[in-house]
Structure 1
């Protein structure tokens, strides 16, 4: 077997989980767009091949050498375009075909971690799916791959050269930088920082509807709620008055809600982030995700503004230690009772920028919106992203005219009604917190008086 490339710590953790359950789809992820125009299929094949040439993770398989997982880069052709014809099927059947292609397990040893699938319903009606295993990609990678595919397709469809310029860096550069950092004095100092953050703490833990049991497969579901438009409009000004970002303000509000819902005053939650810290890795495909561990400390006198300021401080301290891999920290820091470092994560996705493709992908509320790109007419098709080992992932989506909250939860642990109610409580907490930032969290009315008391 040829010598393989080493993996990052995040990849090693995902390889371990894959070995335990190779037929699981828990770490499959992807992006899809509806194509509402004619497609030049030979050009799309050429663009897909160019994608694999440009990004070596698309033609990589995974194996073990001397007891350690490694990545083997193969020749072009491993991740070619698959075409599925589903003529005349209903919208539900078309979506089901796309979701089935997304959920199909990845044989990482034999076929690698990517597939590109075109599901055709008619000559001007198809869905393009780029699916991957999280061991080789992240959300930014999906945007990069879709953007590169379209950039290559356009000249190919015009009879030109689909070749894209070379990348300034590789994912292996990232792996090497991570190993160098961990071996440095700065790496040791950062580990001590995270150990201090976690010392004596416990993860925020929402009351479960069903017992958590080890080995139970993750069954994901999503609950969404819109924030009151007036509150959404007022948020930016209140955050600025408090000297924090919108994200920090919303994080503080969410931590306040957890304080009320769990009766924990001191707890840990996770904040997904990226380690794409260099311009050389900005367009590189790979798993650059990391999780910052944030520790909230609230009391009966805490206000929403104080919680937001504290959240901003947690984020600043966390960003200083962003290069330390969360899987390595989780393996070295043990909490009381063997609890994980976090059961919940909180994130914010901003679709107010100038990138029309990113705006399309993040716009989950307007699936009928059409954007021209590379000679094609595209619409979004939100996919059910599976959630791994967490109880709950909260994503706040900010667009130019709306603020929406997405609760992606483990349906083996929580009833849908429980999550629907909690999402509604968060939307109400945001409205209360922007209307009265100096009101006390402990006494704020965050739910109907008919519901069971929580404080």
Structure 2
């Protein structure tokens, strides 16, 4: 799992579930109008997501919070000239890779520069440690969005048959979907040029500036108003998530982060999948319900709102587009004292499907409606995130070259607490909890991970049992609380907040 995979879609099976529901609704539908090329003679606006990234960059120009680094160790007889030519081809074919974001008058706009050659920077490193130092330095170097292209590509030569390929992008021009496209196309271009062939890729169906202008045009009309009204109603009265932090929340949110690993055993993972099948839903939904329940236990509430992301590429012409296409959805769930886990899963399923049906509303628009007064100490609307990923991240497939991930964790937290889980369809579920180091100690988040695993063990073993009957403390924790005089032996089970 790469450091920035929080930008990926929750899971492909959730998208399939949404499409299946649409198909089961029956009836034909009118063909949608295609996305037309933007007028290149005038102002090229930013998309709503880009505008949010641009604004955050203006607030803190030196921040590296929204950098998306990808690095691979390449072992074998690499053709450096072919790789350099392949990267030049990428910047030529995708305008977003050579777009600057500047303030013109009172509004930011996109300025697309002409393609140029020699855009792959090649440096030497005496050792693996030196190469890692170069990577770390590049990951700590911010972008000037008005002056710089939003992706830096570098090749670090350790030896003739040992290199590191590093791509560092600003989120304003990149998401996980884009990274996958870029790595795949770069591999294809390299293979062709190394063998003396022409680039075999057809031109992109759409450039990002076309999408941004089209998205702006969609943010009006009765249909859009109905979708925006859904979010206003769904998120009405939502209070900030206040977990029991180890330190007071600072007045301005930092972005320092760390992580703890999470593993759900084969037995628990199999029961999670069984509950998903029995509820006619997805593993994502089952894990979402358990995560929301955990957050509720820690806050003493019977509700929780969790942010997640969708690819934002439901239209065919957007599948091959590079750029910031993702959108954030806020998934809110409520439950009663007597509700079972099966009922929580059913509610999470309904809420998720409704959210996917209204995902065309950019999150920036939702924020403007439901939280117009920004609190700089926390992320707007939600403070916890859950994303899910399938299989393993693919590296470049270069002929005669072995590629493996090289990048260490970026040390960034984009909210208070984020759960990432990887599902390989069989065997255990693995993941990590990423946390804000301004708020939490590692020991606290490690305990949260154990509590989540314990909850899932109990919940999936008896999904019809009322969730209020389940205890999240293990025997050792309970004994420590009792020994500290915070409870009485033989007393009733209480939430962790009540025990504190």
Give the TM-score normalised by structure 1.
Answer: 0.90
Q: Is the 8 A contact 2:272 2:460 kept in 1?
A: yes
Summarize deviations over 1:265-286 as a string: whole Å, max 9, x none. 1332211112111111111111
Note the C-alpha offset of 1:310.
0.9
Q: Is the 8 A contact 1:3 1:72 kept in 2?
A: no
Distance 1:387 1:332, change over 3 A: farther
Note the C-alpha offset of 1:302.
2.2
Q: Which runs of 5+ in 2 are unaligned?
A: 1-40, 482-495
- Equivalent in the alignment of 1:436: 462
Q: Is the 8 A contact 1:59 1:78 kept in 2?
A: no
Summarize deviations over 1:40-65 as a string: whole Å, max 9, x none. 00001000000001110111111012
Alignment equivalent of 2:103, drawn from 64, 67, 92: 64
Structure 2 residue 406 is the aligned partner of structure 1 residue 381: yes
Note the C-alpha offset of 1:336.
9.7
Note the C-alpha offset of 1:386.
5.8
Structure 2 residue 327 is the aligned partner of structure 1 residue 290: yes
Note the C-alpha offset of 1:232.
1.3
Structure 2 residue 251 is the aligned partner of structure 1 residue 214: yes
After superposition, where does 1:233-248 map in structure 2 within 5 Å?
Answer: 233-248=270-285
- Equivalent in the alignment of 2:423: 398
Distance 1:336 1:165, change over 3 A: closer
- Equivalent in the alignment of 1:412: 438
Hey, what's the Cα distance between the residues in 1 that align with 2:407 and 2:428? 17
> Does the residue aligned with 2:497 lie in a helix, a strand or coil?
coil
Alignment equivalent of 1:427, drawn from 445, 450, 453: 453
Hey, what's the Cα distance between the residues in 1 that align with 2:142 and 2:116? 19
Hey, what's the Cα distance between the residues in 2 that align with 1:46 and 1:372? 16
Alignment equivalent of 2:60, drawn from 10, 21, 28: 21
> Does the residue aligned with 1:348 lie in a helix, a strand or coil?
strand
- Equivalent in the alignment of 1:54: 93
Hey, what's the Cα distance between the residues in 2 that align with 1:88 and 1:267? 48
Summarize deviations over 1:81-122 as a string: whole Å, max 9, x none. 1122112243xx533432322231111111121111112222
- Equivalent in the alignment of 1:326: 363
Alignment equivalent of 2:266, drawn from 205, 225, 229: 229
> Does the residue aligned with 2:386 lie in a helix, a strand or coil?
strand
Hey, what's the Cα distance between the residues in 1 that align with 2:325 and 2:97? 15
Hey, what's the Cα distance between the residues in 2 that align with 1:388 and 1:254? 18
Structure 2 residue 472 is the aligned partner of structure 1 residue 446: yes
Note the C-alpha offset of 1:325.
0.8
Hey, what's the Cα distance between the residues in 2 that align with 1:372 and 1:201? 46
> Does the residue aligned with 2:475 lie in a helix, a strand or coil?
coil
Summarize deviations over 1:245-291 as a string: whole Å, max 9, x none. 11101111111111111112133221111211111111111111111
Distance 1:39 1:159, change over 3 A: same
Note the C-alpha offset of 1:401.
3.2
Q: Which one is further off, 332-341 or 57-66? A: 332-341
Q: Is the 8 A contact 1:30 1:142 kept in 2?
A: no
Structure 2 residue 108 is the aligned partner of structure 1 residue 82: no
- Equivalent in the alignment of 1:368: none
Note the C-alpha offset of 1:306.
1.3
Structure 2 residue 141 is the aligned partner of structure 1 residue 141: no
- Equivalent in the alignment of 1:252: 289
Distance 1:52 1:392, change over 3 A: same
Hey, what's the Cα distance between the residues in 1 that align with 2:209 and 2:431? 35
Q: Is the 8 A contact 1:224 1:407 kept in 2?
A: yes
After superposition, where does 1:145-164 map in structure 2 within 5 Å?
Answer: 145-162=182-199, 164=201
- Equivalent in the alignment of 2:344: 307
Q: Is the 8 A contact 1:130 1:142 kept in 2?
A: no
Which one has the largest radius of gyration? 2
Q: Is the 8 A contact 1:58 1:79 kept in 2?
A: no
Q: Which runs of 5+ in 1 are unaligned?
A: 352-357, 362-370
After superposition, where does 1:130-209 map in structure 2 within 5 Å?
Answer: 130-162=167-199, 164-209=201-246
Distance 1:422 1:78, change over 3 A: farther
Query: What root-mean-square deviation, in Å, do the aligned CA atoms of Structure 1 and Structure 2 show?
Result: 2.2
Q: Across the two proteins, how many residue pairs are aligned to each other?
A: 438
Q: Is the 8 A contact 1:425 1:446 kept in 2?
A: yes
Structure 2 residue 78 is the aligned partner of structure 1 residue 35: no
Summarize deviations over 1:189-243 as a string: whole Å, max 9, x none. 1111100011112133322112222334310212112111211123222210122
> Does the residue aligned with 1:454 lie in a helix, a strand or coil?
helix
Hey, what's the Cα distance between the residues in 1 that align with 2:163 and 2:374? 50
Hey, what's the Cα distance between the residues in 1 that align with 2:223 and 2:413? 30
Give the TM-score normalised by structure 2.
Answer: 0.83
Note the C-alpha offset of 1:350.
0.9
Q: Is the 8 A contact 2:187 2:397 kept in 1?
A: no
